[in-house]
Amino acid sequence: MNKHSGLPPSSAKMWIACNPSAKKNAEIPDQSSEFARQGTDAHSLCEYKLLKAQGGDAPDPRPNLQYLDQEMEDCSDEYVTFVMENAPPGSVVMTEQRLDFSAYAPGGYGTGDCVIVSPDGNLHIIDFKYGKGIPVSAGNDKDGINPQLACYALGALTAFDGIYDIETVSVSIFQPRLNIAETYTISKAEL
């Protein structure tokens, strides 16, 4: 069984609004659903295809994917295209990057699907959502940045801002089954 963060980014909206909810949720045993397992398969395929698109070597996960179908193949191809279109020449592109944001939320960490650091000083977090039931937004002027993506961005800043001269932060939701490809950008100071 994987040990999960006490403050998982995926439920950041809840624990930011109600701090005690994190402790209560930690008492509930992890349970997986068919939808979660399907999403895990899709993420594995996306990671593989993105590594291959960058010239990397990775084992093909397809023989072990329970939910693999043509829709998953197509969605993962679209994801790779989206990532590569958002990675200017000279960018550093990282997949499935562990991001520790515990400097902002004790014990907080998560895994960013894609982290891009561009030579122009932009940090870009791209989150792949395979679900088709609930549309997810990267952020808006009324509510600001998506809390899950804010956690990932803070973790990436903690890890990479001393190495790269980051000035702006972009976060994207890529949810192909609902035709969502949305980006929200803020300054590093605002984040």
Q: At what angle do helices 34-53 and 70-85 cross, to 10 degrees?
A: 50
Query: According to the model, what pLDDT value does residue 137 have?
Result: 93
Residues linked to residue 112 through DSSP beta bridges, in sequence order: 97
Question: 123 near 156, Cβ under 8 Å?
Answer: yes
Cα separation of 68 and 74, whole Å? 11
**Which pLDDT tens digit goes with each residue over 138-191?**
998 788 899 989 999 999 999 999 899 999 999 999 999 999 999 999 999 999
**Which pLDDT tens digit goes with each residue over 35-60?**
889 999 999 999 999 999 999 999 99
Tokens of 53: 């698109």
Query: According to the model, what pLDDT value does residue 2 have?
Result: 41
Query: According to the model, what pLDDT value does residue 30 have?
Result: 62
Cα separation of 77 and 97, whole Å? 20
Rounded to two decimals, the pTM is 0.86
Query: According to the model, what pLDDT value does residue 1 have?
Result: 33
- Calculate ∠ Cα 44-94-104, nearest 5°: 100
